[in-house]
Chains A and B, each alone.
Chain A
């Protein structure tokens, strides 16, 4: 399968502090790759390396057959969209103007979005079901709506790869599901998607591929069913986890999900 992004033997360090080394990863087109791992294991760092915000210390990131260290910010932004985690806007731009910013990599330094760009932005807003908010100030909409608007902005960017840094943090139960389903839909349309998450259940339910990270690099990559096990989660997070297998009565499917083994966590805390 063709890959949107290929990471080869990558290493990165903040000063003397090694974050990861010898890291290999591929995000195939049409799939959602979920990065799981504890706080500080380098998920966000890895994502920022993939769009050129941070520069690798060694190895390479290949995008559509090219090494990104030979591409400038504009070239990268035409291929890779990034949805950031925490987001607050300083000025109350209308939602439409925020989505139009996604057109920036396609415009020259001295120009503003044309009618055609605004149309692309409107179509992107419609795709995420937020067209009704287009004239609302971006600062006055809810967190879930804001995340969808940011995804619309990334769609307007017309990239081949979308990176999302914990796209569901701060969102309620319904909005988390809404965002993750939107991400699934985008993957089905042929985009490569890589996102980080803190919830193994999100990976089990919504991703087609999981990379389990821990300090220094990747422990395992593969399908969620292969990678997420009681043993691997224990190794990565350091707590006992139970994998439960059940039956989704309405959907008639077998589902796997996981939960922390509370007694063992309490025991570990009191030791």
Chain B
């Protein structure tokens, strides 16, 4: 009996340590506060805290109204949106990497980004109204994934390989349609607008955008969090997961719906921002291990922090704003290369 004390504990070493947990919770919160006083209009950290607190506590206004406008109308919505987009793309990426049994998958694998990009480009071409662009991007993003799903369905199942290939087909098709809109667009006004939109940016973020994205974001995140342990079983392959009693078709459908809601909402709020959904799950795996029960929440925290940090760089490093999508790739790609070298392809 002495030789097997571990049998009583029912606990495993894979449970994530408290230190890492605290880091994962504090990191996005700290970056969020920092984001509020970073920027070209200087506001001291103490003022930021006072302004935030004044919404709840009775504090005397000792700051100019501009400060409040900058914080509540510009920086706060932008920070919140960056966190939602980063978290949404990352948790979708983590869930897809498990579901597709492949660590190289990113959330746009089923064609959502290309289709949403076309939706936006089309709306820019036809009217240029911001709300129309966002609605069109969201709708086309979801339409793209539905198309992929229908193409890949054979004998009432959706084999992983069929999903991937159909995703490639749909992405290529909508990619071509984007080129068509660019080709016919007026080169002085519409073409730059399309190009800039596709690069991805949070520069126009408003509180309205946050409220628009929030329902999809919450629905998608909660959905994925609920099924996160089952993603472990699914990642052993369809046949094996089914032999373990998992209704693989239903589970895959839940994951696809949630990830599509998240990614389409992200794209319609910020344009196409690559790399986040691919690398954050890897960083998460290095931190908390491959168990999706921990990996998904970790991806939410890390993704929110990462995109917030990138967006802070995008708006503060140079006097002109750098498109966020360019920055995530320029910093993300070499960083990913470094991680790859370090892990020697072990994905741990």
Contacts and interface: CB of A to CB of B under 8 A. Distances in A.
Interface stretch (B145-153, B199-207, B285-293): B285-293
B347 interface: yes
A64 to B, nearest CB: 15
Contact of A119 (B10, B233, B240, B348): B10
A118 B11 contact: yes
Contacts of A115: 10-11
B181 to A, nearest CB: 38
B10 A73 contact: no
B227 to A, nearest CB: 7
Nearest to B292: A91
Interface in B218-254: 226-230, 232-233, 235-236, 239-248, 251
Interface in B2-57: 4, 6-7, 10-14
B12 A96 contact: yes
B106 to A, nearest CB: 16
B233 A122 contact: no
Is chain B's interface secondary structure helix, strand, loop, or mixed overall? Answer: loop
Contacts of A81: 243
Contacts of A207: none
B243 A82 contact: yes
Nearest to A110: B226
B242 A92 contact: no
A92 B7 CA distance: 23
Contacts of A73: 242, 245-248
Nearest to A82: B243
A150 B101 CA distance: 18
A134 interface: yes
B10 A135 contact: no
Contacts of A147: none
Contacts of B14: 94, 96-97, 135
B245 A78 contact: yes
A75 B290 CA distance: 28
B7 A119 contact: yes
Contacts of A80: 243
Interface string A64-93: 000000001111111011101000011111
A131 interface: yes
Interface string B328-348: 000000000000000000111
B291 to A, nearest CB: 6
A7 to B, nearest CB: 18
Contact of A74 (B7, B239, B245): B245
The interface centre, meaning the residue of A78, A84, A97, A131 with most chain B CB atoms within 10 A of its CB, is: A97
Given A84-B240, A102-B244, A90 B11 contact: no
5 contacts: A82-B243, A97-B291, A101-B233, A107-B229, A115-B11
Interface of B: 4, 6-7, 10-14, 98, 101-103, 226-230, 232-233, 235-236, 239-248, 251, 285, 289-291, 293, 346-348
Interface of A: 48, 51-53, 72-78, 80-82, 84, 89-94, 96-98, 101-102, 104-105, 107, 109-113, 115-116, 118-119, 122-123, 126, 131, 134-135, 137, 157
